[in-house]
Every structure is written in C-alpha cells, then in structure tokens.
Amino acid sequence: MPIPDIDKIKQRYEGYLRIEKGLSSNTAAAYCRDVDHLARYLAQENKSLDTASEQDLEGFLATLHDVGISARSQARIISGIKSFFKYLEMERLVDANPTQLLPSPRIGRHLPEVLTLNEIDRIIDCIDLSHPQGQRNRAIIEVLYGCGLRVSELVDLKLSQIFEQDEYIVIVGKGDKQRLVPISQEALMQIGLYLEQTRSNQVAKPGCEDILFLNRRGNKLTRVMIFYIVKELCELAGIKKTVSPHTLRHSFATHLLEGGANLRAIQQMLGHESIETTEIYVHIDRSTLRQEILTHHPRNKSMHNS
C-alpha cells in the first residue's frame, strides 16, 4: 500500500522513538537520517519505501560497502532501517516487512577501524610544527581525511592538480580515471603554509617538480612513508586502534554519511562506481559536491563554528 506523506510519517516515527522507546534526540535524529539515506537511494532506483523489496535493501547495503562505510556504521544503519519498517508494520502502513531477513555485517577485529572526531583532532594536535617536515605532515593529514584520498592518490598529487580558487583538486584514480574532489579551506590553508615554509625552499629532483609532497631529498614520498607518518602520529596521540592511511579514508566516508551527506555524493568523491550497474551511477555536479563537503564534513563545521 502507498505510504501517505512520508515526511509526516517520519515526524511521528521520531516522536515514537523519543517518547515510547525512550531514545535521545540525537539517536532518534540519526535513525531518521538512516531512513532519508534509504529513501534517496530508492528514489534514484525509481523505487519508494512502500515498494522496497529485500533485494532493494541489499542493493542499498552493497552501496554503503562500496563507498567504504565501516561495518560498525553499516550495522547501525541497518538497525535504524529495521526499526523504521517495524514501526510502519505496527502502524499498518506496509503489507510486508522487507527487513526481516536482512543480515547485519559481521563486526570483527579484522575489519577496518574508523577514527572518532576527537581522535582526528588528537592526531593533528600531535604534529610538531617546529620540525622541518611538521607543516608538510599537517597538510598530508588534512588532505587524506578532508578529501578521502587513497594513499597512492596522495603521493601522486601534483601542484597543477590543485585549483585553489575553485576549491577543487583533480585526482587520477584507479584505471587512470579522473575525478574532481572538493577540498576545504582548512586543507588549502595548510597546503599553502607548507608551500611557503618548506616546499618553496626545496629543490625537486628531476621528474618531481610538479609533485606536491616531497621528502627531504626532493623526491616524491612513498606509500610506506605515509604509513609511517600516520602510524607515528597515532602512537603519539595514544590511539590503540590499528590505523593506516586508509583508515582516514574510511573515517572521511563514515563521518560524511553520519553527518547527513548524500550517499551518491560520497560515492563520487571517493571515486567508486556502483557495484550494481553503471546505469544507477548518478552524476552530481561540482556545486553539489562542494556543498556536501562544506555542509557535512566535521572539519569544515569546526572551522565555521570557530
């Protein structure tokens, strides 16, 4: 049966969560955001909440995995969606509950970790800016976390790929596919300080003249060196999790999604194509991508609130 006025249903559902289930305002709001993510995905598949099948929901979960959302966050989103459909069933607004057999992802020690906002701040606070490479490392962390780059994309990033006026960088990802990724004012500022304080005084080795991040000898940084930088900073910050540069990419995706960003926008920013079919890949223009970052990325929120 068709669901009448989904916005009103969500308002009633949020009230039900807060009053009858005793959830906090933040938790109830998070559950409603989970419903919004699902509704947007279904709309892009020409489906709706009242016509969603178990297969549709599995496609939604596959897309969450495809953009790098952690298993723990996936499990929380599934919990929110199951709760919503139970409410619809209780209110007799759906004929069948498609979430009954929906599995939650296994949450094991081998799965990638996600850093909290506090842990990200602790890592940044541990960077010794008096050290010759301190400002470079600060810029590296801001770009890894602020843009969700793969470590290979970071070490290959060129000065000519940074468009400061437009607040974009051009990334060459897997299969030599190019994508535009918004970059925050904070990350641009840290890059600018690095260029001014360190990079401008270096002599780049032949072939590395256009490379952004260089080592002390003027060569391009290696993937191993980035791993070492991240590991050392995490140890200084007292973080016991198993962390790698890819953890910052997972954290980028997870924090954006939990902040309410559009799933397809995250997918395009990460350079992932849909694992379903190329037909469901939705083009999102540059202004939309930039707005998703400015609105939902926690590093930008902290800047605007300061």
Q: Is the pLDDT of residue 279 over 50?
A: no
3-state secondary structure of 175: helix
pLDDT of residue 169: 92
Helix H or strand E segment including 168: strand 168-172
Q: Is domain 117-305 classified as CATH 1.10.443.10?
A: yes
Per-residue model confidence as pLDDT tens digits over 156-212: 999 999 999 989 999 887 667 788 889 989 999 999 999 999 998 899 999 999 999
Q: Which of 21, 174, 177, 217 is catalytic?
A: 174
Task: Indicate the domain borders of the chain.
Answer: 6-90, 117-305
Confidence at residue 290, expressed as pLDDT on a 0 to 100 scale: 55
Determine the average pLDDT of the residues in 220-236. 90
Alpha-carbon distance of 228 to 248, in angstroms, equals 14
Q: Which of 10, 138, 150, 297 is catalytic?
A: 150
Using a cut of 0.75, tell me whether the model's pTM lies above it: no
Longest dimension (CA), the chain: 70
Residue 240 DSSP class:
-
The model's confidence at residue 301, banded by pLDDT at 50, 70 and 90, is low
Residue 300: predicted pLDDT: 66
Is 150 catalytic? The answer is yes
Q: Report pLDDT for 230.
A: 92
CATH superfamily, domain 6-90, is: Tyrosine recombinase, N-terminal domain (1.10.150.130)
Q: Is residue 136 within 8 Å of residue 127, measured between CB atoms?
A: no
Domain 6-90 and domain 117-305, same fold? Reply is: no
**Residue 12 annotated to the active site:** no
Residue 286 annotated as catalytic: no
Q: What pLDDT was estimated at residue 282?
A: 30
**DSSP states along 177-201:** -EEEEE--HHHHHHHHHHHHHTGGG
Of 65, 122, 281, 301, the catalytic one is: 281
